[in-house]
Amino acid sequence: MDTFSLERQLIGRGARLVAGVDEAGRGPLAGPVVAASVILPADCRYHLFQDSKKLTERQRERLYATLTGMNIPIGVGVASPAEIDEINILQASLLAMKRAVLNLPEMPDFLLVDGKFTVPLTMNQQALVKGESKSASIAAASIIAKVTRDKIMLDYHAVYPSYNFRKHKGYPTKEHRELLLRFGPCEIHRKTFGGVKELLGS
């Protein structure tokens, strides 16, 4: 499948810069949601970039190094656990995506956004369900977002070692749920999420 065909069509219609946007971390019980926005050049080896969920950790890290070494526009946006609790995970994901786009070194003419919803910006854009498999730009953004979030969770592991965040990255694994029961939620747990809110004292 040609995963750069959408970008090529948009460029053919006059869009100079097309950015892919994706997020990582909607499902975890702890930590932020992280989004990334990436503008791939037409002459890059776009077929290298695939949905981050289909790659091993080592493959993701290698492609992250490739992307960050290409001197291309990359923006990252983060929404904190407190923001997730305040505005809900969907709105926090869209906020992180907005921040990722605004953190690009130059503004794109068009956004290709993973999922059902567009980014809350007055900008030409298209939402694509399963966009990581349809657009190399979205796939590249998924890799940046996932690796960035994993690094953040490794840093949190050093602060809260009891929860073993370096292993499960905050996702609701059996081990994480057991540690939550034993130690209770910490500062970075999402207090409105099932599995966490039940453990909070009223």
Torsion of CA 75, 80, 86, 89, to 10 degrees: 60
DSSP code for 47: G
5 with 133: CB under 8 angstroms?
A: no
User: Tell me, what's the pLDDT at 52?
Assistant: 86
- Cα gap 150→135, rounded to integer Å: 23
Q: Which domains does the chain have, with CATH numbers?
A: 5-151 (3.30.420.10)
The label of the residue with tokens 């794109």 reads 108
pLDDT of 53 reads 86
Across the chain, which has 202 residues, the per-10-residue mean pLDDT values are 94 96 98 98 92 92 97 98 98 98 97 98 97 97 98 98 98 97 97 94 62
pLDDT digits (tens, 9 = 90+) for 37-96: 999 999 999 999 988 888 999 999 999 999 999 999 999 999 999 999 999 999 999 999
Determine whether 77 is exposed, middle or buried from the number of CB atoms within 10 Å of its CB (0-12, 13-18, 19+): buried
